[in-house]
Amino acid sequence: MSIDSLIQPFQHFGVNLGLSRIVNLLATLGNPHHRVPIIHVAGTNGKGSVCAYLSAVLTEAGYKTGRYTSPHLVDWTERICINEQAINSNELYELILKVQAVINPDEESPTQFEVITTAAWLYFAQQQVDIAVIEVGLGGRLDATNVCDHPLVTIITSISREHWQQLGPTTTHIAREKAGIIKPGCPVVVGSLPEAAQKVVVSRTLELKSPIFTPAPSRKINQNWAEYQKIASPETIKYPLALQGQIQLHNSALAIAALEILQKQNWQISEEAIIQGMAKTKWPGRMQCISWKTHQILIDGAHNPASANVLRHYVDTLKTKNITWVMGMLATKDHSDIFQELLKPGDKLYLVPVPDTNSANLGELANLAASICPDLKFCNTYTDVFSALDAACRSRDNQVVLCGSLYLIGYFLSVVRDH
């Protein structure tokens, strides 16, 4: 039996925020999370990049470093890593069996995310990691990762209106949920937030007497290097930026601020480790250039308006006149706002389904795109992503961008990997 089929039955329980099920599950397994020092990372966008930077630097500094992120692109094992290496599929399979074995059939079943999160805590404890970088799945306050009372550092990268169906209709509601990971007295690093969200987060840090740090974005020195201004001294750190896009000046600064706080807690992280770790950082499927047949294409999840804005900004810096979007989106996303951020007159749009998901209706997307940007050069629907890519890549003078859903990117990468 595969990991997919083993964990599939729990998908039936969907998104069901709350901590009681995972707390009971972890208690039955001896509370492994109590043995794992963590950095806890929440945010609408940027949290995956921040986790990638932190994991790479801490590994470079010589610490046995766990990293837990979601969703995966191709394989469940991507979610649970130690020192940048994904867990072995057999090990993950055995861990899930252990978790399943202690589930009480007479109690409410845990969700799929709670099962895999429990497996991650168990693995990190068994492997005796020095530290783990833990990414929030959804929201924060009631997320299955929010079971540690004393994180070394908490990070909130950004807040915008996404998953409002579960978290609340406004950025203020969403900020309250994300601020739920802040713990009494534990330092908090906060990115650039909308004013209403900033007020919520600051108020929560004051209430809990948690020191708050809001580092300025790093400054770009040249195409590949940036400079970070330390939060507690006039000194700066110059470092390479391995990930693409202006937003990485923000994300990398948040990661280095968290590392500064760890240094003050006597973690041995040299400037050389920061420079080397930042250089080695990888975060696939986000602003990634990849070869499709003989064409270089750009791939990025860009599944909400804020990330679509970041992608458009980056595409505009490429100074390519002809932009061709190959896009698929889930039915639950804010299609109108995403199109408004991405599309410009003269662009081409190839719409595709996202396989094995609740994919948006392509005809409705095409009508919506045409109404939002009536001066599109081309807009059509395709039955699958590869026929769309083949059609999009027939022209040699255009930049093809595959985006709209991390699930679509994952599907594309899985097929490319297998060929």
pTM of the model: 0.93
Q: Convert the pLDDT of each residue in 57-88 to its tens digit.
A: 999 999 999 999 999 999 999 999 999 999 99
Q: What is the mean pLDDT of residues 30-41?
A: 98
- Nearest Cα neighbor of 180 from 208, 214, 215 is 208
User: What is the chain's alpha carbon radius of gyration, rounded to the nearest angstrom?
Assistant: 21
Instruction: Extract the tokens encoding 343.
Output: 């599309």
168 vs 140: CA distance, rounded Å:
13
pLDDT over 90 percentage in the chain: 81
**Is 164 in contact with 50 (CB distance < 8 Å)?**
no
Average pLDDT over every residue of 85-110: 94
Where residue 56 falls among pLDDT bands split at 50, 70, 90? very high
Contact between 189 and 254 (Cβ < 8 Å): yes
Quickly state the pLDDT bin for 14 (edges 50, 70, 90).
low
The C-alpha atoms of residue 286 and residue 299 are separated, in whole angstroms, by 6
Stretch 400-411: mean pLDDT, rounded?
96
| Cα(282)–Cα(286) distance, integer angstroms | 10
Q: What's the CA gap between 200 and 151, in Å, rounded?
A: 20
- Report cis status (omega within 30 of 0) of the bond before 194: no
Q: In this structure, are residues 295 and 400 in contact, taking their beta carbons and an 8 Å threshold?
A: yes
Confidence of residue 8 (pLDDT cuts 50, 70, 90): confident
- The pLDDT, as a whole number, for residue 165 is 52
Over residues 211-270, the pLDDT tens digits come to: 999 999 999 999 899 999 999 789 999 999 999 999 999 999 999 999 999 999 999 999
Closest CA to 239 of 269, 205, 261: 269
Distances (CA, A) of 156 to 1, 107, 184, 221, 340: 38, 33, 15, 26, 26
Classify the C-alpha dihedral 280-281-282-287 as positive or negative.
Answer: negative
What local confidence, expressed as pLDDT, does residue 374 receive? 96
Q: Residue 342: left if φ>0, alpha if ψ -120 to 50, beta else—which one? A: alpha
| Contact criterion met (CB below 8 Å) for 342 and 306 | no
